[in-house]
Chain A
Amino acid sequence: MSAHRIANACRLNGAATVNFTFDGKPYQGKAGDSLASALLANGVVLMGRSFKYHRPRGLLGAGAEEPNALVSVDRGGGRFTPNLRATAVEIHEGLDARSQNRWPSLETDFGSINDRLGRFFPAGFYNKTFMWPRSFWEKLYEPSIRRMAGLGDAPSDPDPDVYDATYAHCDVLIVGAGPAGIDAALAASASKKKVFLIDEQDELGGGALADPALWGWLAESLKDLARLPNVTLLPRTTAFGYYHDNFIGAVERLTDHLPDPGHQAREKLWRIRAGEVVLAQGAIERPLVFEGNDVPGVMLAGAARTYLHRFGVAVGSRVALMATHDSGWKDLFALARAGVGVAVIVDLRESVDPALLAEAAELGLRVELGSAVIGVSGRLAVTGIEIARADGSGRHKLACDAVLMAGGWTPSVHLWSHSLGKLEWSEEWGAYLPGKANENVRCVGACGGNWSFGSGVHVGQLPTPKNPALLKAFVDFQNDVTAKDIALAIREGMKSVEHIKRYTTNGMATDQGKTSNLNALQLASSALDRPVQAIGLTTFRPPYTPQTFGALAGHAKDALFQPTRKSPIDSWAEAQGAVFEPVAQWRRARYFPRTGEDMHAAVNRECLAVREGVGIFDASTLGKIEVVGPDAAEFLNRMYTNPWKQLEPGRCRYGLLLREDGFITDDGVSARMAPDRFHLTTTTGGAARVLNMMEDYLQTEWPDLNVWLTSTTEQYAVIALQGPKTREVIAPLVEGIDLSSDAFPHMAVREGTICGVPTRLFRVSFTGELGFEINVPAAYGLHVWKQVWEAGQAHGITPYGTETMHVLRAEKGFIIVGQDTDGTVTPYDAGLDWAVGKKKPDFVGKRSLARPDIVASGRKQLVGLLTDDPNEVLIEGAQIVADPKQAIPMTMIGHVTSSYWSATLGRSIAMALVAGGFDRMGETLHIPSASGKTHTAKVVKPMFYDAEGSRLNG
């Protein structure tokens, strides 16, 4: 008999029996067991396979630090969670847990061939081996490595669970409900402060749960705290990150421990702002580094005491202790007093506290001082150890079925480090302790270095007479990093801990080196013969332990991932069967297919309908800003490239907006409604950016200007009617506006009513046809749209979407900012110098238009392209070369920015940014494609239709 349940005092006495399975095999545990303790109680010590070498692994610890026993839990219906630490999984009736990273079974795993091949996988293996060529990495190396090395499988089904989230505020937040945390909570609660006490475990108590002498105190204290109205106790809650200004992120697990999760939220994300934070996170015991220290059954001494007292499980029947620290002796005495057989106490120190020796003698325990374990026998479970004196003499073997390691303690400074608190090296602890705080926070108990636990020595690796080049003595259990790997990294020139970490992957597993960082530092310190403090320390980052994506995402998924902005016409378009596309956060109708039409056919039909009759288009998403005040014209004159002061009320102007560096950032047609009032439009995606930019200049550069800016994007529905028959459609609906061409010319605005609704009626065109844009209050938008739609039936009115809008404007060479420009295009590059007021002394970006690199020749300029084969439609983004016969990599002189089939012209058209493009008119350029075919196209002016503009003035 090895690990087993024992009858005497533990916290689970009298607990109900719970049935669960592990790898499909049924087991029984007790209510309150972790999966780890329940499996141990059933004699199961093999719980996982290691990441790289597929070595058999058992439990190292009993808490959050566990690196080996990673399992998957399947609750059915898509509820599948990989990579859970068995020490943190509470068993419940029907729990279905599975081991990972093994095939076909945990006992017989083909991947363990990696262990025999270990000498081929040294530190830096990935860096050295898989560098080139890239195709080998994508097709061969990565898939093979993914198959052989790894963690659990990612779930393939959508997560059916819902996740809750909340904000909370408190005066004092205490993380960790061990004795120190509970004391802090009692003290804080006495002053009537609002106190939160949170702990990652299902049961509050921390280290006290493994100490029967404290059970009475613990029960009383928790009863007191539970009674206090100003105290909130949050068990099963992991504080995973400490952010600025005492902002703590924590996840509370609500249903994973229940036999039936029902429909309530699985987890709850707490965002807590605390006046003061008290960290009481305790300390994590350090393993010792020796050959075979990862054989199942070799574990931390403190963990063995936790399994004994909290869960009533003996980790073995004949237990050995390898210690460099007093605390392990006390753990072993507890086991011995509970009736667990002891093989030997081995301690590296030549002398120890006489009191320990006396207690060992009283219990009749064999003690070997000045000695070390130098090997472990057994593959799937420990069967014995080999011991030698520190000088290598006196080698002998002993049988045992568990080995406890006591290498000292590492304070849990994870959250402290997140808060940017300083760390100071402590020789006594052989570890870093909290120093100067960066927030209103303090550490109490073991994580603050305040804990009496005896003394010890700290060594990177135990002495051994064996050849160090052949040893498998593990430092990082989760990433399979050995002492040999760290030695190799140092031999190959890695000197700082950051380099050693990345080269060996030590501390880079999901446990962030909770049990390995300090041993790696000690090893590096010895090898480099420099003090540990000189090696540096890697930075802990959130999360403290892995958290689910579900908890972090909360409600922000699917349709709620981000808001979808819909225009007032959206429901009509949907009822018409429109196909939508996202534009910024808006969803816009892209085209309106009729039965049997694909996008190409629908767009061709819509384009011709606008050119020959009348089309109706929802332009409500255009950004709109109302600019009001006596200095409104002066303000716009300074912002835009063109002159605004002489613009008469009732007239519109195309405005081009630059950044101060001279590059185009937005454009749009705007109208002067009154001497002190302008109706600006911006691109759909640029509205917020433009308003922010204008506010910036108004508030900080020209606060003397008397101007007010108001976003009116959502106040108006905008119905664009385009095509030669437009006037006939709206004429019967409009009142108070003379629609004749003389009274209402192109680029003018009038106010009146349409369908009885007040309107700002713009005569503008983004298609090159006669056009009007009807602005009405958003709430009336759908009403007016439907009336116009009805009135248009006699004229064959056709709804069109953004795709047709793109084609029609490209036929006219109108740019789309962000598609035909990319943030490095000036008005000159875009052929828009006509829109720049050259006589204006200043406007935003003007000085930059004289910058040397902007007046230099050879800049990319916007041109049109006509393919030699009119049926070829170039791919947007395709690169352009002058000579297709040149060697690869070719010199790319530009790229295609817009490209469409033009039904109006019966051929393809394209726009492109090409180096020196204006001087290349008539030149033939080449566009190689991924298929291997190289297209040829002639450079032309980007104006493909009605160059004289007769249609829009009709």
Chain B
Amino acid sequence: MILIHCPYCDDIRPELEFAYAGEAHIARPADPSALSDAEWEKYLFIRANPRGRHNERWRHVHGCGRFFNAVRDTVTDKFELTYKAGEPRK
């Protein structure tokens, strides 16, 4: 069971308290109606799915309830770091 650092609680807690929430830094477009079908498709469905370093979102759902971002290695499952939502990509 992975240990995850919640940047809001500033505490390391077991994976059971958290929920995965998909790739990070995919902002909802300000005006979706201005997007072409291809652009909307890219926003909705196209994900990086890298082998290795991945910026992704987690929620401390059974803790403070906050969504935050993390960098996790998809090969080793190791968390490199976590940071608050709204902070720039790391």
The yes or no verdict on A and B being binding partners is: yes
A residues whose Cβ falls under 8 Å from a Cβ of B: 243-245, 247, 271, 273, 420, 438, 660-661, 692, 695-697, 699-701, 703, 841-842, 846-848, 850-852
Q: In angstroms, how far is the closest chain A Cβ from the Cβ of B58?
A: 12
Are A692 and B59 in contact (CB-based, < 8 A)?
Answer: yes
* Residue in B1, B19, B44, B67 whose beta carbon sits within 8 Å of that of A245 in the complex: B1
A438: B residues at CB distance < 8 A:
76, 78
B33: A residues at CB distance < 8 A:
841-842, 846-847, 850
How many angstroms from the CA of A834 to the CA of B61 in the assembled complex? 35
With A245-B1, A699-B66, A700-B85: A852-B44 Cβ-Cβ less than 8 Å: no
Are A245 and B3 in contact (CB-based, < 8 A)?
Answer: yes
Are B59 and A852 in contact (CB-based, < 8 A)?
Answer: no
5 A–B contacts, CB within 8 A, in A order: A244-B77, A420-B77, A695-B59, A699-B66, A842-B31
B86: A residues at CB distance < 8 A:
700, 703
Q: In angstroms, how far is the closest chain A Cβ from the Cβ of B37?
A: 6
Q: Closest residue to B77 on the A side, CB-wise?
A: A244
* Residue in B31, B41, B44, B65 whose beta carbon sits within 8 Å of that of A695 in the complex: B65
Are A244 and B1 in contact (CB-based, < 8 A)?
Answer: yes
Are A699 and B67 in contact (CB-based, < 8 A)?
Answer: yes
Are A847 and B2 in contact (CB-based, < 8 A)?
Answer: no
B77: A residues at CB distance < 8 A:
244, 420
How many angstroms from the CA of A846 to the CA of B77 in the assembled complex? 36
How many angstroms from the CA of A36 to the CA of B47 in the assembled complex? 56
B residues whose Cβ falls under 8 Å from a Cβ of A: 1-3, 15, 19, 21, 27-28, 31-33, 35, 37, 40-41, 44, 57, 59, 61, 65-67, 76-78, 85-86
A-B contacts counted at CB < 8 A amount to: 58
Q: In angstroms, how far is the closest chain A Cβ from the Cβ of B11?
A: 15
Given contacts A243-B1, A245-B3, A701-B27, 6 further A-B contacts (CB under 8 A): A245-B2, A271-B1, A438-B78, A703-B85, A841-B31, A842-B33
B76: A residues at CB distance < 8 A:
420, 438
Are B1 and A247 in contact (CB-based, < 8 A)?
Answer: yes
Q: In angstroms, how far is the closest chain A Cβ from the Cβ of B83?
A: 13
With A695-B65, A699-B66, A699-B85: A847-B27 Cβ-Cβ less than 8 Å: no
Are B32 and A842 in contact (CB-based, < 8 A)?
Answer: yes
B78: A residues at CB distance < 8 A:
438
With A695-B65, A696-B21: A848-B28 Cβ-Cβ less than 8 Å: no
A696: B residues at CB distance < 8 A:
21, 59, 67
Across the A-B interface, give the 6 residue pairs with the lowest CB-CB distance, nearest first. Answer: A847-B32, A244-B2, A245-B3, A701-B28, A247-B1, A699-B67
With A243-B1, A244-B77, A245-B2: A847-B65 Cβ-Cβ less than 8 Å: no
B28: A residues at CB distance < 8 A:
660, 697, 701
How many angstroms from the CA of A695 to the CA of B41 in the assembled complex? 24
Are B67 and A847 in contact (CB-based, < 8 A)?
Answer: no
Are A692 and B44 in contact (CB-based, < 8 A)?
Answer: no
B32: A residues at CB distance < 8 A:
842, 846-847
How many angstroms from the CA of A699 to the CA of B69 in the assembled complex? 12
A661: B residues at CB distance < 8 A:
44
How many angstroms from the CA of A741 to the CA of B67 in the assembled complex? 45
A245: B residues at CB distance < 8 A:
1-3
Q: In angstroms, how far is the closest chain B Cβ from the Cβ of A693?
A: 10
Are A848 and B1 in contact (CB-based, < 8 A)?
Answer: no
Q: In angstroms, how far is the closest chain A Cβ from the Cβ of B72?
A: 11
A697: B residues at CB distance < 8 A:
28
- Where chain A touches its partner, the secondary structure class is mixed
A701: B residues at CB distance < 8 A:
27-28
Are B59 and A660 in contact (CB-based, < 8 A)?
Answer: no
With A245-B2, A699-B85: A851-B61 Cβ-Cβ less than 8 Å: no
Q: Closest residue to A703 on the B side, CB-wise?
A: B86
Are A700 and B67 in contact (CB-based, < 8 A)?
Answer: yes
B40: A residues at CB distance < 8 A:
847-848, 851
B44: A residues at CB distance < 8 A:
660-661, 848
Are B61 and A692 in contact (CB-based, < 8 A)?
Answer: yes
A847: B residues at CB distance < 8 A:
32-33, 35, 40
B67: A residues at CB distance < 8 A:
695-696, 699-700
Q: In angstroms, how far is the closest chain A Cβ from the Cβ of B84?
A: 10
B15: A residues at CB distance < 8 A:
244
Q: Closest residue to A271 on the B side, CB-wise?
A: B1
Q: In angstroms, how far is the closest chain B Cβ from the Cβ of A840?
A: 10
A247: B residues at CB distance < 8 A:
1
B1: A residues at CB distance < 8 A:
243-245, 247, 271
Q: Closest residue to B33 on the A side, CB-wise?
A: A847
B66: A residues at CB distance < 8 A:
699
Q: Closest residue to A851 on the B side, CB-wise?
A: B37
Q: In angstroms, how far is the closest chain A Cβ from the Cβ of B41?
A: 8
B85: A residues at CB distance < 8 A:
699-700, 703
How many angstroms from the CA of A792 to the CA of B78 in the assembled complex? 62
How many angstroms from the CA of A841 to the CA of B33 in the assembled complex? 8
B19: A residues at CB distance < 8 A:
692
A243: B residues at CB distance < 8 A:
1
Are A852 and B2 in contact (CB-based, < 8 A)?
Answer: no
A271: B residues at CB distance < 8 A:
1
Q: Closest residue to B34 on the A side, CB-wise?
A: A847
Q: Closest residue to A699 on the B side, CB-wise?
A: B67
A846: B residues at CB distance < 8 A:
32-33
B37: A residues at CB distance < 8 A:
851-852
How many angstroms from the CA of A632 to the CA of B44 in the assembled complex? 26
Q: Closest residue to B27 on the A side, CB-wise?
A: A701
How many angstroms from the CA of A696 to the CA of B65 in the assembled complex? 10
Q: In angstroms, how far is the closest chain A Cβ from the Cβ of B24?
A: 9
Name which of A696, A846, A852 has the most chain B CB atoms within 10 A of its CB. A696
Q: In angstroms, how far is the closest chain B Cβ from the Cβ of A422?
A: 11
A695: B residues at CB distance < 8 A:
59, 65, 67
Name which of A243, A245, A661, A700 has the most chain B CB atoms within 10 A of its CB. A700
How many angstroms from the CA of A701 to the CA of B21 in the assembled complex? 14
A842: B residues at CB distance < 8 A:
31-33
How many angstroms from the CA of A244 to the CA of B79 in the assembled complex? 11
How many angstroms from the CA of A695 to the CA of B19 in the assembled complex? 13
A420: B residues at CB distance < 8 A:
76-77
Q: In angstroms, how far is the closest chain B Cβ from the Cβ of A656?
A: 18
How many angstroms from the CA of A349 to the CA of B77 in the assembled complex? 46
Name which of A273, A692, A697, A846 has the most chain B CB atoms within 10 A of its CB. A692
How many angstroms from the CA of A630 to the CA of B37 in the assembled complex? 34
B57: A residues at CB distance < 8 A:
700
Q: In angstroms, how far is the closest chain A Cβ from the Cβ of B78?
A: 8
How many angstroms from the CA of A273 to the CA of B13 in the assembled complex? 12
How many angstroms from the CA of A652 to the CA of B37 in the assembled complex? 35
B59: A residues at CB distance < 8 A:
692, 695-696
Q: In angstroms, how far is the closest chain A Cβ from the Cβ of B26?
A: 10
How many angstroms from the CA of A245 to the CA of B40 in the assembled complex? 39
How many angstroms from the CA of A269 to the CA of B57 in the assembled complex? 32
How many angstroms from the CA of A699 to the CA of B66 in the assembled complex? 7
How many angstroms from the CA of A940 to the CA of B53 in the assembled complex? 54
Q: Closest residue to A843 on the B side, CB-wise?
A: B32
How many angstroms from the CA of A571 to the CA of B35 in the assembled complex? 54
A848: B residues at CB distance < 8 A:
40, 44
How many angstroms from the CA of A841 to the CA of B32 in the assembled complex? 9
Q: Closest residue to B12 on the A side, CB-wise?
A: A245
Q: Closest residue to A244 on the B side, CB-wise?
A: B2
Q: In angstroms, how far is the closest chain A Cβ from the Cβ of B51?
A: 15
How many angstroms from the CA of A852 to the CA of B40 in the assembled complex? 11
How many angstroms from the CA of A880 to the CA of B45 in the assembled complex? 31
Q: In angstroms, how far is the closest chain B Cβ from the Cβ of A657?
A: 16
Q: In angstroms, how far is the closest chain B Cβ from the Cβ of A713?
A: 16
How many angstroms from the CA of A700 to the CA of B28 in the assembled complex? 9
Q: In angstroms, how far is the closest chain B Cβ from the Cβ of A323?
A: 41
How many angstroms from the CA of A841 to the CA of B31 in the assembled complex? 8
Q: In angstroms, how far is the closest chain B Cβ from the Cβ of A699?
A: 5
How many angstroms from the CA of A289 to the CA of B67 in the assembled complex? 57
How many angstroms from the CA of A847 to the CA of B32 in the assembled complex? 6
How many angstroms from the CA of A384 to the CA of B67 in the assembled complex? 71
Q: In angstroms, how far is the closest chain A Cβ from the Cβ of B28?
A: 5
How many angstroms from the CA of A654 to the CA of B10 in the assembled complex? 41
